[in-house]
Chains A and B, each alone.
Chain A
Amino acid sequence: MTDLTDLTLADARARLRAREISATELTEAHLSAIAAHNPRLNAYITLTADLARAQASAADAALAAGNAGPLTGIPLGIKDLFCTKGVRTTAGSRILADFVPPYESTVTANLLRDGAVFLGKTNLDEFAMGSSNMTSAFGPVENPWLRRGSNAALVPGGSSGGSVAAVAARLAMGATATDTGGSIRQPAAFCGLAGIKPTYGRCSRFGIIAFASSLDQAGPVARTVQDCAILLRSMAGFDPKDSTSADQTVPDFEAALGRGVRGLRIGVPTEYRVPGTNPEITAIWEKGLAWLLAEGADIIDVSLPHTKYGLATYYIIAPAEASSNLARYDGVRFGLRDAEPNDDLIGLYEHTRARGFGSEVQRRILIGTYVLSAGYYDAYYLKAQKLRALIARDFTNAFAQVDALLTPTAPTAAFAMGEKMDDPIAMYLNDVFTVPASIAGVPAMSIPAALNQDGLPLGLQVIGNSFDEETVFAVAAALERAAGFAARPGQ
């Protein structure tokens, strides 16, 4: 019998329903794998083994009674940015190291409603700020993939580094993640997974610890496109507790997987052909286009003329919102209070925040405070807002001509721990292909396409029009079939 942790989520779902396997043995298999591999990978910050066993047992009862939900008995990892009632939620930060929310996020509540089993809370860059998972106060996450012939530890990407490492290493069947400028897609690409950032507003943000409210969006990572479709259907949905949540019905994303791409117009944004791009990245992009062409799609060059402003726009808007969103961590009501005995209120703030936040979070709070300051607001924040509108219009114009766009997900494969660490700009460049879709709020998905010459996965990104995740899934599924990506880490 195959190892239970190797099953896809869809397979596991079928076997659970057929009573071939039990939720309890599936959960135990994952708990064993976590015990064996998490000490090295550090993918989980908090394990909820007892809770998982209880949920699995309830799932088995539901399966026996014939009233299984869409995810009954499926063991998942939950990014530690989603508040989970009664379970410590840290955001990867020292300032929330002991924070236990008295409420459940809407997305995790939806997953629980559908019968999922939560194995634990996965590691992440502090407050989701990072592209390497190196900024977590709970230590870096190791990518389960290694360069061929090397033992150098690689980063899993970020910020959802724990989620992708866990799923790639078979420590969960799927995981929740969040994406503000690429935090689902880039780590999915680095770890050979599928991951979708849906349209802004598709998933409720209620109970997700905010980084940049106008950009943050939850989505799943999993080993197949189908598994992502299954998870997203459960996670998504209108939520009156989030004013920015969209009152749109959630389609059956799985049903779109077999549509194929015949007759679809696939756009190639010319501005994404940046001189100096890694030839391996260019090559896999060309291959992706060739696969779609072979499947009957039309390939069309399109222009997204404001692409070159994407990163600058993002690194103004996201820190601006973050500087305000993170003001609540002040040591007064919850979380860390690290004050000196004779501190006044200002001293309490300064010591708590200086000791509670890591250097990347502090850097972004400073940038955000600066761009919103009197005298700089117009030059930075206001200009960035205008560019945001132009970038969004680029996509609107493009989707008047094409049904989806195909681009690389990240400019490189996973890099080693320690690389790019002393150069924040080099680190920010990781997001160059992912940020524009975040700014525009449109759905985008990364799927594993091939291994590079070092044996590391490379991802391709499919970008769709607002609330047209179905086309994204259809294109991603076609690419997945064509790529036949079967590699797994540690082989």
Chain B
Amino acid sequence: MPYTIEGATGPWEVVIGLEVHAQIISEAKLFSGAATAFGAEPNTQVSFIDAGFPGMLPVPNRECIAQAVRTGLGLNAEINLVSRFDRKNYFYADLPSGYQITQFAYPIVGRGAVTIELADGTTREIGITRLHVEQDAGKSLHDQDPALSYIDLNRAGVALMEIVSEPDMRCPEEAGAYLTKLRAILRYLGTCDGNMDEGSLRADVNVSVRKPGENFRTRCEIKNVNSIRFAMQAIEYEAKRQVRVWEAGDEVRQETRLYEPARGITRSMRGKEDAHDYRYFPDPDLLPLELDAAWVEQLRESLPELPDARRARFIAQYGIPAYDAAVLVADKSVADFYEAVAAGHDGRLAANYITGDLFAALNRTGRGIETTPVSITALRELLALLKNATINGRIAKDVFEQMVETGEMPSAIVDRLGLRQITDTAAIDAAVASVLAANPDKLAEYRAGKEKLFAFFVGQVMKAMQGRGNPALVNEALQKAL
């Protein structure tokens, strides 16, 4: 059932394309040697090149170019061995040279594709139009003084990739899945940290609506959305707004809009008539960027395993369901955590603990896998305790909760709370005998053929043993006694 918006005139389809700005992981900026660390004191990571001083010249940083090529390869895209840097001219106080160096006419990466997974288990392919490399601008601070604006140039000149998708998405969920998948690929590649709250990944969302079967109608661009959730909310709001506009007999104007998360709305920033004339032209300070085909092949061969390949391997190697595998690989750190825990253990059990108990605990405590209270070693020990029958599965759940609370190792918890499984048959026999003695009527019913009561007796025996009885031995003793 395709996603549509029901208007007064019938259903409307939503068309979405995304332009994602991803900050390249690199020690130095795109055209200068200045550092790029996040959160430094204002204007402490600025070279004379970044500040646009007279006579300063840009020199491309080879590592930034390599990162863009790796990303292109990770997106299954064409790598253009010859590309070009252009100047995008406009005046703003945080744009030191009066132009941004970008790639307008000839980007470094051409067409590619990303496969997204949807909640119903289906997959879709979203086209990548292009990826190009460009400089970031600085930051204007208007809230530091009532009369003055301050400029921080730390970000000026930092390398960005702009990754442009085809208008292939048809609902907010697909846009969310695309951003999630793209971020995962970037993180696997190590080309962008994907931290949207720090601004290292931002999305411009293009939205239009149309009647099914129509050509595209006018689109609006929602600028600088900095969370996946906001992107989905913004699309939903914007699509409904456009349907209202069309159905009121008006035209949607091509314009740039801003999403206001607090009010859940988009508002107009500037119309097409106010759009800048950027006067793009080839940057005469830079030669065309020519890549050596052998160098690109080296980068291709040294690419890390990417989410899709890893998911396939998890299914094959650990025998886990496709859904669990998809959940585990979505975040590289989670997938790494899983593999470290699962090595030499039951992969299914490890997957269950991580996607079930651990995720629940992390959600509950508002933590991520990087700050998990349950370490890889601790979880491996818990699986070992289960495997060698020191504890049973029921007790393991309690031990796990204790691990979350205290950060203790499971063996210490088992010892401290005396949770070691009882395998002493005499003790089990004694517990069985006392349960049977305490329930003569149930015993009679069972013996009269009500075999379902077996589970009742197991429960009673385990209860009598504070859950510590070895389930197999309890079963065996009960069967004998009954």
Q: Which A residues form the contact surface with B (CB < 8 A)?
A: 82-83, 89, 91, 96, 99, 101-103, 105, 205-210, 212-214, 240-244, 320-321, 323-324, 326-328, 330, 332-334, 345, 349, 369, 372-374, 377, 381
Interface residues on chain B, number (Cβ under 8 Å): 30
* Among B87-95, B179-187, B339-347, B394-402, the stretch in contact with A: B87-95
CB of A243 within 8 A of CB of B99, answer no
Nearest Cβ distance between residue B287 and chain A, in whole angstroms? 6
Nearest Cβ distance between residue A369 and chain B, in whole angstroms? 7
B97 within 8 A of A: yes
Whether A102 touches B286, Cβ cut-off 8 Å, given contacts A243-B60, A327-B91, is no
30 contacts between A and B (CB under 8 A): A101-B53, A103-B55, A206-B55, A207-B56, A208-B55, A213-B284, A214-B284, A241-B59, A242-B57, A242-B59, A243-B58, A243-B285, A243-B287, A244-B284, A244-B287, A321-B284, A323-B89, A324-B99, A326-B98, A327-B98, A328-B52, A333-B96, A345-B93, A345-B149, A369-B279, A372-B89, A373-B279, A374-B277, A374-B279, A381-B281
Closest to A348 in B: B93
In the assembled complex, which residues on chain A have CB atoms less than 8 Å from the CB atom of B57?
205-206, 241-243
In the assembled complex, which residues on chain B have CB atoms less than 8 Å from the CB atom of A240?
59
Distance between Cα atoms of A241 and B32 in the complex (Å): 10
Nearest Cβ distance between residue A241 and chain B, in whole angstroms? 6
Among B98-133, those with CB < 8 Å from A are 98-99
Distance between Cα atoms of A349 and B279 in the complex (Å): 18
Whether A99 touches B52, Cβ cut-off 8 Å, given contacts A214-B284, A327-B97, A373-B277, is no
Closest to A201 in B: B287
CB of B54 within 8 A of CB of A327, answer no
CB of A320 within 8 A of CB of B281, answer yes
B51 within 8 A of A: yes
- Chain B, interface SS category: loop
Nearest Cβ distance between residue A468 and chain B, in whole angstroms? 21
In the assembled complex, which residues on chain A have CB atoms less than 8 Å from the CB atom of B59?
240-243
In the assembled complex, which residues on chain B have CB atoms less than 8 Å from the CB atom of A333?
51-53, 96
CB of B285 within 8 A of CB of A83, answer no
B151 within 8 A of A: yes
Apart from A334-B54, A372-B89: 5 A-B pairs, beta carbons within 8 A: A83-B55, A206-B56, A243-B60, A324-B279, A374-B279
Distance between Cα atoms of A402 and B92 in the complex (Å): 50
Closest to B278 in A: A374
Contact with A along B371-395 (1 / 0, CB 8 A): 0000000000000000000000000
CB of B55 within 8 A of CB of A96, answer no
CB of B277 within 8 A of CB of A327, answer no
Whether A105 touches B55, Cβ cut-off 8 Å, given contacts A320-B281, A332-B93, A373-B279, is yes
Q: Which of B53, B55, B58, B98 contacts A330 (CB 8 A)?
A: B98
Distance between Cα atoms of A107 and B266 in the complex (Å): 53
Whether A324 touches B54, Cβ cut-off 8 Å, given contacts A103-B48, A240-B59, is no
In the assembled complex, which residues on chain B have CB atoms less than 8 Å from the CB atom of A369?
279
Nearest Cβ distance between residue A373 and chain B, in whole angstroms? 6
CB of A324 within 8 A of CB of B55, answer no
Nearest Cβ distance between residue A341 and chain B, in whole angstroms? 11
Q: Which of B89, B279, B286 contacts A243 (CB 8 A)?
A: B286
Most B CB contacts (10 A, CB to CB) among A330, A369, A373, A377 go to: A330
In the assembled complex, which residues on chain A have CB atoms less than 8 Å from the CB atom of B60?
243
Distance between Cα atoms of A321 and B87 in the complex (Å): 10
Closest to A370 in B: B279
Most B CB contacts (10 A, CB to CB) among A89, A373, A374 go to: A374
CB of A328 within 8 A of CB of B281, answer no
Distance between Cα atoms of A349 and B91 in the complex (Å): 9
CB of B55 within 8 A of CB of A327, answer no
Distance between Cα atoms of A330 and B55 in the complex (Å): 15
In the assembled complex, which residues on chain A have CB atoms less than 8 Å from the CB atom of B98?
324, 326-328, 330
In the assembled complex, which residues on chain B have CB atoms less than 8 Å from the CB atom of A324?
87, 89, 98-99, 279, 281
Closest to A208 in B: B55
Closest to B60 in A: A243
Contact with A along B31-61 (1 / 0, CB 8 A): 0000000000000000010011111111110
In the assembled complex, which residues on chain B have CB atoms less than 8 Å from the CB atom of A373?
277, 279
CB of A328 within 8 A of CB of B55, answer no
Nearest Cβ distance between residue A387 and chain B, in whole angstroms? 15
Closest to A320 in B: B281
CB of B55 within 8 A of CB of A101, answer yes
Q: Which of B48, B89, B97, B279 contacts A102 (CB 8 A)?
A: B48
CB of A210 within 8 A of CB of B51, answer no
CB of A209 within 8 A of CB of B91, answer no
CB of A332 within 8 A of CB of B277, answer no
Most B CB contacts (10 A, CB to CB) among A105, A213, A328, A377 go to: A328
Distance between Cα atoms of A242 and B31 in the complex (Å): 11
Distance between Cα atoms of A212 and B48 in the complex (Å): 20
Closest to B49 in A: A241
In the assembled complex, which residues on chain B have CB atoms less than 8 Å from the CB atom of A243?
57-60, 285-287
CB of A334 within 8 A of CB of B53, answer yes
Distance between Cα atoms of A373 and B90 in the complex (Å): 12
Distance between Cα atoms of A138 and B53 in the complex (Å): 22
CB of A101 within 8 A of CB of B54, answer yes
Among B156-185, those with CB < 8 Å from A are none
Shortest 8 CB-CB distances between A and B: which pairs?
A327-B98, A214-B284, A213-B284, A372-B279, A328-B52, A207-B55, A209-B54, A83-B55
In the assembled complex, which residues on chain A have CB atoms less than 8 Å from the CB atom of B286?
243-244
